[in-house]
Amino acid sequence: MNIFTTKQALNQYLEQSRASGKTIGFVPTLGALHQGHLSLIRQAQQNSDEVVCSIFVNPSQFNDPKDLEKYPRTIEADIKLLEGVKCDVLFNPPVSEIYDGNEQWHLNIGELERLLEGKFRPGHYQGVTQVVYKLFNIVKPDVAFFGQKDYQQFLIISKMVESLNMPVKLVMCPIMRETDGLAMSSRNIHLTAEDRQHALILSKTLNWIKNNFDRNSLPQLKTQAEHMINDEPGLELDYFEIADGDTLHQATKDANSIVALVAAKVGKTRLIDNVLLVHGS
């Protein structure tokens, strides 16, 4: 695996790849890699000739400095995992390589950035779009791969790509889960054994919603889901929504796509999860 820390060195390498007719697949990450990330790499390998993974803990998307400080950094383990799945390229830049001092950035994302995650993490999606825009311009991928677990993020990056007319195809990859159903997340390492048991109510509730989707009205499903989660000790529910998969507004049963999304603090760790209930055409 080729490892680059500067834009210039990466560009020189990728220019040669493009010149030989290779398509570039891209998986941007914050590191602390797990099997969910590796599933994105494998998907990228199936859909492109050369795969670039970036590891960059982006300061502009953390609205809480303590969260940024606490975010796990495991670069040596990450490199071993990437080598294990035969990733072609790792881009692991320092902050100074991505940002020049006090940069200004604002992208008009509309109300999407104020709903759900945006409401609880103000400014987060401006930071996400800022760094993804930069990384897309550095890597110039043909295809970029993101996990479904960050469903709202995928919608927002899709909107950015469309509004800025960026020449990249986006692919959303399925959520990877532990054997007990917990959605894989870099934050899971912060869960105590007790927290982890309590956290399982999130995926159990989403499964219950999926299995009962045709039997109950959406308000009934939402109310029952909130009861299930609130009855579990050790959890503080931020939101549970059954939303239109395109707008994240409250869904109606005839929507083209419907997704159930949940966010909760489990102990001191905030987790998100979702399930697709109706797949858009």
Q: Residues 34, 37, 124, 198: which is the catalytic one?
A: 37
Task: Please write the tens of the pLDDT for every residue from 14-48.
Answer: 999 999 999 999 999 999 999 999 999 999 999 99
Answer whether 52's CB lies under 8 Å from 78's CB.
no
Cα dihedral value 223, 273, 234, 205, nearest 10: 40
Cα–Cα distance between 214 and 258 in angstroms, integer? Answer: 13
Cα–Cα distance between 269 and 235 in angstroms, integer? Answer: 10
Quick one: fold of 2-173? Rossmann fold (3.40.50)
Superfamily of segment(s) 186-275 = Pantoate-beta-alanine ligase, C-terminal domain (3.30.1300.10)
The residue type of 168 is V
| pLDDT for the residue numbered 279 | 86
Cα–Cα distance between 200 and 196 in angstroms, integer? Answer: 7
Which ranges in the chain are annotated with CATH 3.40.50.620? Answer: 2-173
| pLDDT for the residue numbered 248 | 97
Which ranges in the chain are annotated with CATH 3.30.1300.10? Answer: 186-275
Angle between helices 124-139 and 151-163 (to 10 degrees): 60
Residue 37 annotated among the catalytic residues of the structure: yes
Reading the block at residue 180, the tokens are: 């007990």
Kindly give the pairing relationship between strand 2-4 and strand 50-55.
Answer: unpaired
| pLDDT for the residue numbered 281 | 54
Helix (H, G, I), strand (E, B) or coil at 157: helix
End-to-end alpha-carbon separation of the chain, Å?
A: 38
Residues in the chain predicted with pLDDT less than 50, given as ranges, are none
